Amino acid sequence: MKKEFPLTNIIRHTLIVFFMLTILLPLAWVLLLSIKSMPDSMRGNLWPRKFDFNHYAYVFEKIDTLPQNLFNSIYVTSATVLITSICAILAGYAIVHLKPKGSLFLVTVLVLSLYFPTRVVSIISIYEIQDYLSLINSTNGLILPYITLNLAVSVLIMRSIFQLIPGELIDSARMDGAGPWRTLWLIGIPLAKNGLVVIIIVNFVTAWGEYLLAATLTNDQEVRTMPVVLASAQGGMGQWAWPRIAAVYVIVVLPGIIAFAMAQKLFFKGLMEGALKT
Amino acid sequence: MSQDLLQAILLWLPPTRGETAKVTTGNPAINGPTPKSWLVEHNNWVFLLPTVLFFVWYQVYPIIRVVWISFTDYKYLTNDPANWVGFDNYVEALSDPLMWDSLGRAAYFTAMFLPGTIIIPLLLAVLIHGVQNQRLATVYRVILLIPAVIPSTLVFVLWKWMYNYQIGPINHFLVEVTGWFTYRNAPQWLGGTDLTLPSVAIMEVWWGLGYHSVFFLAGLAAIPKDLPEAARIDGASEWQVFWHIILPRLQPIMLILVILRFGTSMGVIDEYLIFGGFNRESPTYTWTIFMYDQAFKTGLWRQGFAAAIGMVGSLVMMVFVTWLIYIFRSRD
C-alpha cells in the first residue's frame, strides 16, 4: 500500500465528512425536533434549550387515527413484501433452472416495463380496476397494485442471484430424486439468502413509503397509510404541532433504518451479487 | 467485468455470455435430447404463474387499457358506453400549449437533476475509494446507504419541512446564523416559485447521493489495482490517471445511471403532488400532473384526454430513452 501524502488525506477526509454530514444532518434535525419543547421548536436552533420527550406518548394518545394508520401501513407492507418475495423467488428460480418455454419472453417484458413510466400512466386504469372490484377506499385493495410496483425488479434480482448457483448443484439434487419444489426449498433458498434480503428491503421501502396509489385510491383518514397522513399533515398548532408531527415522522422512518442496520452485511453482499454484479 | 454490471437487471443488452447459451445447453439428463413431457413443462410454468398473474393484472393490462382509453371519450362516472373518437384526444393534447410547457418543465427538472446526481456521487465515490482505513470505509458505506432505505414520501416530507420558511433549518441558517437574508426577503423554496424545481432537484440529489456512490464504489473496486499504479510509475499525474484510466472504466455504470435516472426524473409525480398542487402556472405542473389533474381533479373526469396526455408524455420519454440506449450500446 502506498502511503498517502498527509495533506491529500486531510482534504479527502474533510470532503468526505462534509458529505456525510449533508446526509445525516437533515435526519438529526428531525430527530431533535421530535424531542424539543414547544417553545424551542419555534426557534430554529438545532440544539434545544429544553428537551421534552412526551411528544411520542402524546401522538399515540391524542391523534385518534394514528394507531389505525400505523397498523394499515404495517399490514399493507408486510403483505406486499411477503407476496412479492414469494413471486420473485419462484419466478427467478424457474427462469434460471427450470427454463419453461416463454421465460426469456417474460424477462424481456419485465425489463421493458422498467423503461416505461408504467406507474404514472397506469394509475388511470388501476383506478378503474379497483373501482370495478369495489376496492376503492380499502386498505386491503392497496396490496394488489403494491405487489407489482417492484415485481419486475425483484424477479430480475432473484434471477441474477440464482444464476450464481451452479446448475450442476441443482441438477444433482434432482438426480437424487428431489422434485423442483424440494430442490428450491432445500438448496435454492438457502443459497439465495442475500438476494432475498435485498428484495425484502427494496419492497419494504417502496410499500412503506408509497404515496401516489394510496392517495388516489383512498379517501378516508382511517383507511390511509402513514405516508399519506404525513404528507397531508400541515405543521402548526394542536395535535400537529411541529415536535409532535416530527415524532410521528421518526416513528415511521425508524423501522427501515433499524432493519437496514441489522441486515447491513447481508444487504451489501446481496447488492453486490444481485444488483451490482461485477 | 464491469460491463455486465447490472446488465441482467436493468438493461436489455444482447446476451454476451450466458442467456441464450444456457437455454440450449445445460444438463442433458434434465432437458436433454428427449423433449420435456407436457406435464413437466406445465409444472414448471406453475413457478411463473404468480408473477405473470400479478404482472398482467396490474401492469400489462392497465397499460393496454390506457392506450384504448386514450382513443375514446371514456369517463369513469357515466353509464354511457365510451365512444371511439380516433385521434381527437391526441390532437387536442398536441395542440394544447400546456402539453409542451409541461413536458418542458419535466425536461428542465431533468437537466438540473441528472448532472448533479451523476457527478457528485462519482466524486464522493472516488474520495471514499481512496480511504485506506478499512473500518472508516465501512462506516462511510453504511452512512451512504441510509437515505436509500428512507421511503420516498418520507424523504419528500422531510425536505418539505427543511424548506419551510417558519421552522425550516435552511432559512434559519440563511437568516439567523449567517444574516445573509432577513425574514422578509428570505427565499421561498417551494410553492410554485422559480426556486421550486431547483429545490426538488437538490432534494433528489441528496436522496440518490449515497446509493449512486455505492454503485460507483462497486465499479471502482472492479478496476484492477495495478492499472493506475502502472500509469503512475510511468509518470502520469493523478488527474490523468482519473481521466484516462478510471473514468472510461466507470462509463458503463454512469450510462446505466443516466438512463435510469432520466426515466425517473421525467416521470416524477409524487413530489409534485406533495409540493405543488394543481396550479397550471406552477413549475411543478409537468405532464404527469397535467395527466393526473385531467383524470382525477378537474371535476370533468376526462380520462380519455388524460390517457392521451399520458401516452404523449410516455412516448416522448421513450424516444429519448431509446436514443440514450442507442448511444450506450454503440460505445461498447
Whether residue A140 has pLDDT greater than 80:
yes
Q: Is B187 on the interface with A (CB under 8 A)?
A: no
User: What residue has cell string 457528485?
Assistant: B120
Contact residues, chain A, for B313 at CB < 8 Å: 117, 120-121
Per-residue pLDDT reduced to its tens digit, B18-76: 333 333 334 444 444 445 566 666 778 888 999 999 999 999 999 999 999 999 988 87
CA separation for the pair B154, A210 (Å, rounded): 9
Inter-chain contacts counted by CB atoms under 8 A, chains A and B: 313
Q: What is the DSSP string of B151-197?
A: -HHHHHHHHHHHT-TTT-HHHHIIIIIS-SS-TTT----SSSSTTHH
The arithmetic mean of pLDDT across residues A96-121, rounded, is: 88
Specify the 3-state DSSP secondary structure of B133: coil
Q: What's the pLDDT band for A144 if we cut at 50, 70, 90?
A: very high
The arithmetic mean of pLDDT across residues A155-173, rounded, is: 85
- Give the pLDDT score at B26: 40
- Give the pLDDT score at A170: 81
The arithmetic mean of pLDDT across residues B314-319, rounded, is: 93
Q: Is A81 on the interface with B (CB under 8 A)?
A: no
Whether residue A277 has pLDDT greater than 60:
no
Q: What's the pLDDT band for A3 if we cut at 50, 70, 90?
A: low
The arithmetic mean of pLDDT across residues A101-114, rounded, is: 88
ipTM of the complex: 0.88
Answering whether pTM is above 0.90, one says no
| CATH architecture under which domain A64-232 falls | Orthogonal Bundle (1.10)
Q: What is the DSSP letter of A239?
A: G
Whether residue B329 has pLDDT greater than 90:
no
Contact residues, chain A, for B44 at CB < 8 Å: 94, 98-100, 180
Query: B247 CB contacts (<8 Å, ≥6 apart)?
Result: none
CA-closest candidate to residue A84, choices A146, A143, A152, A147: A147
Q: Is A211 on the interface with B (CB under 8 A)?
A: yes
User: Could you tell me what percent of chain A has a pLDDT over 70?
Assistant: 94
Which of B63, B64, B110, B149 has the most A C-beta neighbours within 10 Å, making it the best mutation to test the interface with A? B149
Closest by Cβ to B150, choosing from A104, A124, A256: A256
The arithmetic mean of pLDDT across residues A99-110, rounded, is: 88
- Give the pLDDT score at A24: 92
CA-closest candidate to residue A267, choices B205, B147, B142: B142
The arithmetic mean of pLDDT across residues A13-35, rounded, is: 91
Report how far apart the first and last C-alpha atoms of chain A are (Å, whole number): 23
Closest by Cβ to A120, choosing from B140, B156, B310: B310
Q: Half-sphere exposure (CA, 13 Å, Cβ side) for A231?
A: 25
Query: A231 CB contacts (<8 Å, ≥6 apart)?
Result: A211, A215, B153, B156, B157, B160, B274
CA separation for the pair B309, B292 (Å, rounded): 9
The arithmetic mean of pLDDT across residues A190-203, rounded, is: 86
- Give the pLDDT score at B330: 61
> Which residues 18-47 on chain B approach chain A with CB closer than 8 angstroms?
18-19, 22-23, 26-27, 29-31, 41-45, 47
Q: What is the DSSP letter of B57?
A: I
Per-residue pLDDT reduced to its tens digit, B190-214: 877 888 899 999 999 999 998 889 8
- Give the pLDDT score at A266: 76
- Give the pLDDT score at B12: 34
Whether residue B315 has pLDDT greater than 90:
yes
Per-residue pLDDT reduced to its tens digit, B160-194: 988 988 788 888 888 877 878 877 788 888 877 88
Contact residues, chain A, for B161 at CB < 8 Å: 30, 235, 246
Q: Is A201 on the interface with B (CB under 8 A)?
A: yes
Minimal Cα–Cα distance from B194 to chain A, Å? Answer: 22
Q: What's the pLDDT band for B15 if we cut at 50, 70, 90?
A: very low
In chain A, beta strands by DSSP E: none
Per-residue pLDDT reduced to its tens digit, A37-91: 877 777 767 787 778 888 888 888 888 888 999 999 999 999 999 999 999 999 9
- Give the pLDDT score at A48: 78
- Give the pLDDT score at B306: 93
Whether residue B297 has pLDDT greater than 90:
no
The CA radius of gyration of chain B, in Å to the nearest whole number, is: 25
The arithmetic mean of pLDDT across residues B272-285, rounded, is: 87
- Give the pLDDT score at B310: 94
Q: What are phi and psi of A36, to 5 degrees?
A: -90, 150
Q: Is A108 on the interface with B (CB under 8 A)?
A: yes
- Give the pLDDT score at B215: 85
Minimal Cα–Cα distance from A61 to chain B, Å? Answer: 23
The arithmetic mean of pLDDT across residues A188-192, rounded, is: 84
Is residue A245 a contact partner of residue A233, using CB atoms and an 8 Å limit? yes
CA-closest candidate to residue B311, choices B319, B300, B322, B299: B319
The arithmetic mean of pLDDT across residues A191-219, rounded, is: 89
Whether residue B124 has pLDDT greater than 90:
yes
Query: B163 CB contacts (<8 Å, ≥6 apart)?
Result: B170, B171, B189, B190, B199
Whether residue A273 has pLDDT greater than 80:
no
Q: How far is CA A123 from CA A207, B21, B62, B276, in A?
A: 16, 39, 8, 19
The arithmetic mean of pLDDT across residues B10-20, rounded, is: 35
Computed over every residue of chain A, the mean pLDDT equals 86
- Give the pLDDT score at B154: 93
Report how far apart the first and last C-alpha atoms of chain B are (Å, whole number): 13
Considering A9-13, A203-207, A234-238, the range whose residues carry the highest mean pLDDT is A203-207
Whether residue B147 has pLDDT greater than 80:
yes
Minimal Cα–Cα distance from A209 to chain B, Å? Answer: 4
Diameter of chain B by CA atoms? 82
Closest by Cβ to B12, choosing from A96, A108, A208: A108
The arithmetic mean of pLDDT across residues B254-278, rounded, is: 88
Q: Half-sphere exposure (CA, 13 Å, Cβ side) for B194?
A: 1
Contact residues, chain A, for B150 at CB < 8 Å: 205, 209, 253, 256-257
CA-closest candidate to residue A253, choices A271, A223, A270, A230: A230
Helix (H) or strand (E) holding B223: none
- Give the pLDDT score at B30: 47
Specify burial of residue B21 (Cβ count, 10 A radius: 0-12, 13-18, 19+): exposed
Q: How far is CA A179 from the centre of its chain?
A: 33
Q: Is A136 on the interface with B (CB under 8 A)?
A: no
